[in-house]
Structure 1
Amino acid sequence: MIQHLINDIDEADFDVTRGGQFEIIGWLYQYYNTEPKEVAFKKRKYAETDIPAVTQLFTPDWIVKYMVENSLGRYWIDVLHARNDSRSEVEIAQAYHWQYYMPESQQNEQVSLKIIEAQKELTEVKLEDITLVDAAMGSGHVLVYAFDVFLQLYESEGYSKRDATENIIQYNLYGFDIDTRAFQLSYFALSMKAREYNRRFLTLELSPNVFDILEYTDLSVQDFEDLITTDQQSSDITRLLNAFHDGNSYGSLIHFTDPIDFLEIESIIDTKPGEHQLSFESIELEEKKHKLKEIITVSKLLCRKYTVGVMNPPYMGSGKMNDVLSKYVKRHFTAGKADLFAAFMERLRMFVSANGYYAMITQHAWMFLSSFEKLRQSLTQDTLINMAHLGTRAFEEIGGEVVQSTAFVLKNQNLTEYVGTYERLIDFNSQDRKETAYLAAVRDQTVDYLYRTNQANFKKIPGSPIAYWANKNILSEFQIGTNITDVAFVGLGMRTGDNKRFLRLWHEINCELFDPNSKSADITFKAVKWVPYNKGGNFRKWYGNKEYVVNWKNDGQEIKANTKRVYPQLGNNLGWKITNEPYYFKEGLTWTFISSSKFGVRFSPQGSIFDVAGSSLFTTNHKDLLYLEALLNSKAAYYILQLQNPTLNFQVINIKNIPVKYYNESKIVSIVEKLNRLSSLDWDDFENSWDFKVHPLLSHIADDNLSIWYYSVVLTNRGAKNVPIFRLLGVK
């Protein structure tokens, strides 16, 4: 390992005079967790011991600086302005060399007055009063950079580096984690940072305020019953012990909805046994009192308010949480229960005091998905100051299009009309390019990827997505227009419960049992087993992707029986799986649920059932259906979908919320009819269609010149290779 450290890492990276050495600690620790992470990722649910490995992700240096400078730095600028410092925020930031600080936009008079009024409370703030917490500190990257910023602030106030160091460690920085090794690295990094500026630090008996949140499974309230004198003491101790029984699962999510009287509990553990009382039992009690004191120390800090919160929270979908963590998150963080990072968004907000700031980097799903709508509503009660919307590849070690990130700063103050600043960095395809683009936006705020918008606009769009790039015309249509849901039914389709058993490609079946034109579920299914099934597929507009069939014999008897067997709790109400059955076999529009870039709907004539991956839309009027088909296949519709949900999924709720404006209906319907007909002909020109007759290149050759070899080889070469040749020839 030492050889690799010497040979594989640039010597300059170890140069403490130019920074970067702390990043090595973080990267080494992340790769230390690589093997445990790979093992854990294969599990259906993560065990408590898996959580540190699967949630460890080292934050890039520039994003840490962005978060700290725009939260802690911004708060200090507020303090200076409260003291009547005449410099602009840009001038102050430049004086401290905060190159990642993004100045706020111009505000209206009402908002400006509220900001000034709030700043009046900061006139007496001292540096020792400003606290910063990282609720999932990892190896301490955020805390170490915050140390540097605090050091700048203290020096500007006339402190020596030695005195400043003591104050920073003692009063300003706090951190929590469930990973013991990460805690040790944070403790080490902060201690070495302090030692760098105060050579006597290691002899001062000062410890960084960073804590490993442990779990205590060997304590109960009965252990202290001889010391407890009130019911309130008993209740408070019980609550503490219950919370820390699973401390390694909950971490800093631990909080108490009702206050705890810590002074009363401390009076219990501070009692000293007399000499005549010494025994094995009393010694054991002292050990348990010591553990309770550890719990109290951490709990008091978990209940505290901090000026600034900064963190890169752990990511874990609700489906991967173990039962203990899942129940706790659902009970205490209902708005963020869909993912662990969202629960921490709620928790960090609880940590921060009025007029304080909190900054995070998270997955960007919370900005758009309906499962995070309540979270958005709670967060927008505060003020979204700035956002660096990163998109994919914000982390060098994570490739692909799945993980999309955003970094942002909020202020714990309700300024409804506040105009925030948003840097749209999603089109820059590497970590370094995103950083370069962000710095360019700081220097030149006229770049075309920097947006300024009133956060009140988000509520104008159904679901309140953080669609900061929406133009005024679209926002107006959302307010005054008719939504698709007012003129059509949009819904999910069926979940068969066992696709391997009930689904086939149409050329895999006995075509004598297939009816491609079933008009209703009421027909007699004695001779028919398979019917068409819309299941998404590749991107395609107007018509096509008709490849799958589903076993719907006797009105879906087998599928329904299997559903009842697997989900007995449903009884006869199978709507959760056999969804929207009244719309089966009706003409409608269908689309592909998952797509990496484009969106297109296809006309589906009578005779098909639809799947979740092929969600569908239905109207009572054929012309209305074609008009909506034109709308949904337009660039305007795709733009609106991206406003609501620029992820890989086109959800039913997003289609429902698209505004509809009618004009030139007859002409548009006529054009759509032609497009559907042409697209249908195009689909049927190839043998993956069950209505295929002849390849278009051969369509003008006389039948008597087409040999039986052509029918047996060419026509059966691809999708039709399993179709009886005589059926293709029209021979019964």
Structure 2
Amino acid sequence: MTVLTDTERKGLEKSVLDAHRKAEAGAFNALNYLGVEADKKPFHLSDAEAELRRRLRSEMRRLGSYDVLISSVAYEQWHRMLFARFLLENDLLIHPKFKVPVSFSDITEIADEKGSEAWEVAAEFASHMLPGIFRQDDPFLMVKFSPEDRIALQGVLDGISSESFLAEDALGWTYQFWQSEKKKEVNDSERKIEGYDICAVTQLFTEPYMVKFLLENTLGAWWLSLHPDSGLKSEWEFYRSEVEHDFSGWPSYINELKILDPCCGSGHFLVRAFHMLLSMRREKGEENEAAISAIISKNLHGLELDPRCIQIATFALALEAWKEGFSPTDSYLPVPNLACTGIPIKAEKDDWLKLAGGDGMLESALENYYDLFKNADSLGSLIQLDNQSSSGTDKHSSVNQTLIDQKTLMEKLEQALKKETAAGDPVAETFGETANAIMKAAHLLNCKYDYVVTNVPYLTRGKQSDILKDFCESNYPLSKNDIATVFLERCLSFTSIRGKVSIVLPQNWLFQPRYENIRKKLIKSEKWDILAKLGPGAFETISGEVVKAILMNIEHGSISNEHLLSGIDVSNRKNASDKAIGLLSDDIKKIQQIKQLENPSSLISFESLNKINLLGKYATCIEGLSTGDSDRFIKKYWEVYPKDKNWELFIQNVNENMNYGGRENILFWENGKGALQRFPNSHNFPSNTMNGFQVLGNKGLRITQMQNPKVTIYTGEIFGKSAGTLVLEDNSLLTAVLSYCNSDLFSKEVNIINQSLYKPVGTFLKVPFDLEYWQKVAAEKYPDGLPEPYSDDPTQWLFHGHPKPSESPLHVAVARLLGYRWLAETDTEMELSSEARDWIKESEKLLSFADDDGIVCIPSVRGEGRMDERVREVLKAAFGSEWSARHEEKMLADLGYVKKDGSLKGDLEKFLRDEFFKSHCKLFHNRPFIWHIWDGEKDGFSVLVNYHKLDRRNLERLIYSYLGPWISQQEREKADNKAGAEKRLVAAKELKRRLELILEGEAPYDIYIRWKPLHEQAVGWEPDINDGVRLNIRPFVEAEVLRSKITAIKWGKDRGKDAVPNCSGTVERHNDLHFTLEEKWKARKEAE
């Protein structure tokens, strides 16, 4: 099996993405020249061009938009060149007259003689072999690119290495790479997935090692069961002889073997199966072309939703057949048994129902089939014609249909489908033949197969359109949560009794609670031959933890209680190549399949799970609140000062184990009776008692629902998602549970039970817990009991406010100078340790240093001292006799204010002037409450302001009482010819102008809050502190008056959609909108 190397694959990806952009640019320019989008025909067009324009406009109407037309032209133009290059590189581009292979130099020479383009000649020659792909009358291919665009596209094609075109998997990769931008566009849109969007989002090219492992351990194992001494065994490197197999339900003769890939994509599984079957037939002495013809016509079958994909799969099979010696000139390759299941019917429903001839039950059955085929572009291979849905609850397969004569029903269905004359078959058309695509698909959908092998689409229920969601609910209620598990059931229904399914699936269904019933069903009813857990990094083209896959071979039919499942786990191996090695050599564990029913929730595990004394015996774990709009309802606690009664502490998750963390946020709660409770998308509201346990106001743990769970102590607050809140029946056990959950063992046990990235909260209750042991550990670790609430981190609401023990003393000192006080200082009811209370008392001694208006200039203005001197005074008071110049230097170094050699970049004044604001933004999660406003000159006007005090009056004070005197000072210095005064004066006046624009609030220097109606939007600088820093800081960013750019703050579209149209006139959550003062005043007047 020749496959692309990593280098070749990355090079091909780069080339295809470049080709996509260049092809669309070329298509846009060519269609623009033809005036396709224009209402009137351009005067410069010839008669032939005008006719082409007419045909293209007709295609545009069929496709639905001009953009789709551009994409279609780009696709056809590029793929004509690409497919021709595949034929050329494999010596398969045949001269139609002389019947010999030609090279590209031959093509170029012929093109020069004809006065044509080389790739047009190549396509002309190829059209005799595959007329459906190289159609000479295709309007998309008749479009002429400009010389510049054509040369650019040819340059991309020429840049792809010749070796890439010889690889068995290259064709499939080209289409996946072509689709990658479409996939991103659909995912970013957040729309429900339906129709051909399903193809773009769910197609994932199967790694060659996965294909080989599944096929060699099923198809290969079958051959070896018939021919134990076969020499092919040495070629099948992934074959594992220790796996138990039973092929009593398979045919003994290769001609009778029927294989199906119901999601065949670009044909990766089919191509590899083709080569294996050819080797088998050759080993038995079959003549080469007869063997190839039999494989194509009898053994291999494929279904696919995407018509382009099925065409590529057809080409891929033909290419491999020709490469293996089937003559492209002397013999006719059979049309492969491939069909596109994604072509919807066009007929009206009444035309179908008339075929029932008044038979009510037959009419009902035909109506059900009509609904299925009408939505074929969403349902594809899930359409089932044998009335045997896997879960048996579908209204379409009710008892009424069992009373209908099935032969009559099928005859009527065929009669209806034959009328779909417009539904051309992309497979037959590839070979220049005609067929009814829907009829062909229906035939393949209605067959049974000995072997079904596929990589299923992955699409969770929340992303499915209503059509797909309702279908899965009705037909596959046990597996409905992901189309992947739905397809597992569908694959089994395709399979004959004792036939087998090989499948690539996401692993989450093996352990997540929502799949418990489908696990139980399949454990009891199907024989699992082999299960390989791949874990993260199984796909070369997907980084990180996104897709964790399993490989599974399963036999359709009943099992014995003694059957042993063969399990192999390569999850801990880092990448695809390493996992492939693991599948070759790692030990296989034999597990009694039926025993999996005894595991918690019948989860699938290769380890023996101890069900005695699970953590759930002592505790419950609650999922947190989902607001449905976190940008609206959740703020960092330092954004709202002072915190009023509408806001409540809101604990979240931690990234590392710590006693007290996750305490950065507050929630707009309004005593549980406000906007959040009425918000349609909010759910999981906490209460005092949940699952029979006291929750709010109680102590417990917050356990992050991640790969390696992290833990912090919970103290009764309202809590959010991303971490489960674990509370105990007996709080005297809390230190023991805390000790366990902080251990590596806890993380290990959690991942044995659930290997997904995101752990459902119930997972934490299913781990074994040795109470006696962990009580001993806790007695040593926590001799004084549970630690009391305390933090030196200024981003935590528990922080006491004193610089000395703080993790960021300089930031704390600056904030105190500008009049900020921490939440713990002012909340007398907050539960805190005695140490924290002592530091709060010490902090009170620093209150006298706070500036009265929260405006402190870095240079001396209005007779106020320089800022660095004032900050230093705060630090001296905080540290007392311990303060020294070395302390100051260390603080600056700790903040990263150093050169490459480790020396400081400058002194405290320069840090405050140049880097404090950037450092402050980083520390406070890009929600700064100290803003650095300046005029752009390092020796110019520069001021730090307390955002909480920066109301309209204080902004005016900043402009006229601080900046004003500075301007006057520069005017005097200019008159005295002082160096730099004129430059500083110009900069200061410009800053004054910009601040006055913010004060006035005309767009684009306005505040916009997307959840407020227009008549409630601020007029001028009138910020509502409850709206948060992100939205209120926008006018200052637009005016470019802040010392550093805040690149991490975005004002684009937030995730999710509102239930009703908002101020933007849509349900989209747009933030980067501007309204004029006139519009706002008008809206206010209309609202009166």
Correspondence for 2:618 = 487
Equivalent of 1:692, from 800, 825, 845? 800
1:525 counterpart residue number: none
User: Could you tell me which residue of structure 1 aligns to residue 764 of structure 2?
Assistant: 655
Q: Retained in 1: the 8 A contact 2:794–2:806?
A: no
The aligned amino acid for 2:256 is D
Determine whether 1:102 maps to 2:237.
no
* Within-5 A mapping of 1:515-530: 528-530=645-647
What does residue 314 of structure 2 align with? 187
Identity %: 22
Q: Is the 8 A contact 2:356 2:363 kept in 1?
A: no
Is the aligned partner of 1:311 residue 2:454? yes
Residues 1:323 and 1:387: Cα distance change in structure 2 (over 3 Å): same
Larger mean Cα displacement after TM superposition, 710-719 or 665-674: 710-719
Deviations along 1:453-500, one digit per CA (max 9) or x if unpaired, are 3333433321222222x2x4xx2x21xx13333322321233344434
* Structure (1 or 2) with the larger CA radius of gyration: 2
Residue of structure 2 in register with 1:564 after alignment: 678
Q: Which of 1 and 2 has higher RCO (CA within 8 Å, sep 6+)?
A: 1
Distance of 1:589 and 1:338 partners within structure 2: 31
Cα distance, 1:209 vs structure 2: 0.7
2:702 and 2:726 in contact (8 A); partners too? no
Identify the residue that residue 46 of structure 1 maps to in structure 2: 193
Matching of residues 69-84 of structure 1 within 5 Å: 69-78=216-225, 80=226
Name the residue aligned to 1:590: 701
Tell whether 2:727 aligns with 1:618.
yes
Task: Give unmatched runs, 5+ long, in structure 1.
Answer: 108-114, 272-281, 514-527, 568-573, 700-707
Per mean C-alpha deviation after superposition, the further-off stretch among 429-438 and 228-237 is: 228-237
* 2:283 counterpart residue number: 156
Contact 1:383/1:416 (<8 A) preserved: no
Residue 493 of structure 1 aligns with an amino acid whose one-letter code is: G
Q: Counterparts of 1:395 and 1:285 in 2: how far apart (Å)?
A: 43
Question: 1:11 maps to what in 2?
Answer: 162
8 Å contact from structure 2 (residues 353, 367) kept in 1: no
In structure 2, the residue matched to 1:412 is 556
Secondary structure at 1:566's aligned position in 2?
A: coil
Give the structure 2 partner of residue 174 of structure 1: 301
In the other structure, the counterpart of 1:434 is: 579
Does structure 1 conserve the Cα–Cα contact (< 8 Å) formed by 2:202 and 2:458? yes
Amino acid in the other structure paired with 2:760: Q
Q: Secondary structure at the match of 2:713?
A: strand
**Residue in structure 2 matched with residue 110 of structure 1 by the alignment:** none
SS in 1 for 2:605: coil
Counterpart of 1:55, as a letter, is: T
1:248 aligns with 2:377: yes
Match for 2:207: what amino acid? Answer: P
Partner of 1:111: none
Change (3 A) 1:64 1:575: closer
SS class of match (1:48): coil
**1:160 deviation in Å?**
2.0
Report the AA paired with residue 14 of structure 1.
F
Q: Residue 393 and residue 136 in structure 1: after superposition, are their counterparts in 2 closer, same or farther (change >3 A)?
A: same
- Residue 642 of structure 1 corresponds to 751
Shift of 1:52: 1.7
1:379 to partner: Cα distance: 2.8
Matches within 5 A, 1:305-344: 305-344=448-487
Question: In structure 2, what is the Cα distance between the partners aligned to 1:675 and 1:173?
Answer: 71
Q: Displacement, 1:548? A: 2.5
What is the DSSP-based 3-state SS (H/G/I as helix, E as strand, rest coil) of the residue aligned with 1:397? coil
Alpha-carbon displacement from aligned partner over 1:572-615 (angstroms, at most 9, x marks no partner): xx97434566645433223243434x32332223x522223342
SS in 2 for 1:599: coil
Give the Å deviation of 1:152. 2.2
Distance 1:286 1:47, change over 3 A: closer
**Residue deviations 1:493-536 (CA, integer Å, cap 9, x gap):** 333444344433333333574xxxxxxxxxxxxxx444432211
Residue in 2 that maps onto 1:510: 641
Rounded to whole Å, the distance in 1 between the matches of 2:361 and 2:448 is 24
Question: What's the offset of the Cα at 1:386?
Answer: 2.1
Change (3 A) 1:675 1:46: farther
Number of the residue aligned with 2:709: 599
**Bigger shift: 143-152 or 716-725?**
716-725
Q: Which residue of 1 aligns with 2:527?
A: 383
In 1: Cα distance, 2:249 partner to 2:631 partner: 66
1:336-394 alpha-carbon deviations (Å, 9 max, x no partner): 22222221111111111222221111222222222222232233232322233222222
Equivalence map 1:60-71=2 (5 Å): 60-71=207-218
Inter-partner Cα distance in structure 2 for 1:345 and 1:202: 42
Distance 2:811 2:753 in 1: 51
- Superposed, which structure 2 residues align to 1:658-697 within 5 Å? 658-663=767-772, 667-674=776-783, 680=789, 683-684=791-792, 688-692=796-800, 694=802
C-alpha separation in 2, matches of 1:710 and 1:402 = 38
> Alpha carbons of 1:43 and 1:417: their partners in 2 closer, same or farther (altered >3 Å)?
farther
Root-mean-square deviation (CA, aligned residues, Å) is: 3.8
User: What do the CA deviations read for 1:122-171 (whole angstroms, capped 9, x no partner)?
Assistant: 5x632122111000111111111111111222233342222222222222
Structure 1's 369 and 8: CA in aligned 2 closer, same or farther, altered over 3 A? farther
- Whether the 8 Å contact between 2:366 and 2:413 is mirrored in structure 1 is no
CA deviation map 1:103-137 (0-9, x unaligned)? 235x7xxxxxxx7xx65565x63212211100011
Distance 1:286 1:365 in 2: 40
Determine the structure 1 residue equivalent to 2:602: 464
2:537 equivalent among 382, 393, 402: 393
Instruction: Give the counterpart letter for 1:361 in structure 2.
Output: V
Q: Secondary structure at the match of 1:409?
A: strand
Provide the residue aligned with 1:279 in structure 2: none
Q: Residue deviations 1:284-325, cap 9 Å, x none?
A: 969599999754543232132211111011122222212211
Task: In structure 1, give the amino acid aligned to 2:640.
Answer: I
Hey, what does 2:206 align to over in structure 1? 59
1:143 and 2:270 correspond: yes
1:545 counterpart (662, 666, 669): 662
CA separation of 1:265/1:199 partners in 2, compared to 1, >3 Å: closer, same or farther? farther
SS in 2 for 1:463: helix
Deviates more, 1:287-296 or 1:60-69: 287-296
Q: 1:239 to 1:75 in 2, by over 3 A?
A: farther
Does the alignment pair 1:577 with 2:723? no
Structure 1 residues 377 and 100: alpha-carbon distance in aligned structure 2, compared to 1, 3 A threshold: same
Q: 2 CA distance for matches of 1:227 and 1:508?
A: 69
By how many angstroms is 1:437 displaced? 3.3
Q: How many residues end up aligned between the 2 structures? A: 648
TM-score, with normalisation over the residues of structure 1? 0.78
Aligned position for 2:29: none
Asked if structure 2 preserves the Cα contact closer than 8 Å seen for 1:493 and 1:579, the reply is no
Task: Tell me, in whole angstroms, the C-alpha distance in 2 between the residues paired with 1:56 and 1:120.
Answer: 34
Q: 1:724 to 1:633 in 2, by over 3 A?
A: closer
* Deviation for aligned residue 1:254: 0.5
Match of 1:237 in 2: 366
Change (3 A) 1:557 1:13: closer
Deviation, 1:452, is: 3.6
Q: 1:710 to 1:347 in 2, by over 3 A?
A: closer
Instruction: Please list every run of 5 or more consecutive structure 2 residues that lacks an aligned counterpart in the other structure.
Output: 1-18, 20-80, 82-153, 389-396, 426-434, 827-839, 848-1088
The CA distance in 2 between the partners of 1:129 and 1:617, in whole Å, is: 58
Given the superposition, is the C-alpha separation of residues 716 and 68 from structure 1 closer, same or farther in structure 2, using an over 3 Å criterion? farther
Distance in 2, matches of 1:547 and 1:433, equals: 41
SS of the equivalent of 1:549 reads strand
Which residue does 1:275 correspond to in 2?
A: none
Aligned partner of 2:139 in structure 1 is none
What's the offset of the Cα at 1:655? 1.4
Say which SS state the counterpart of residue 176 (structure 1) adopts: strand
Shift of 1:181: 0.9
Paired residue type of 1:152? S
**What is the TM-score normalised by the length of structure 2?**
0.54
- Change in 2 beyond 3 A, CA 1:367/1:222: same
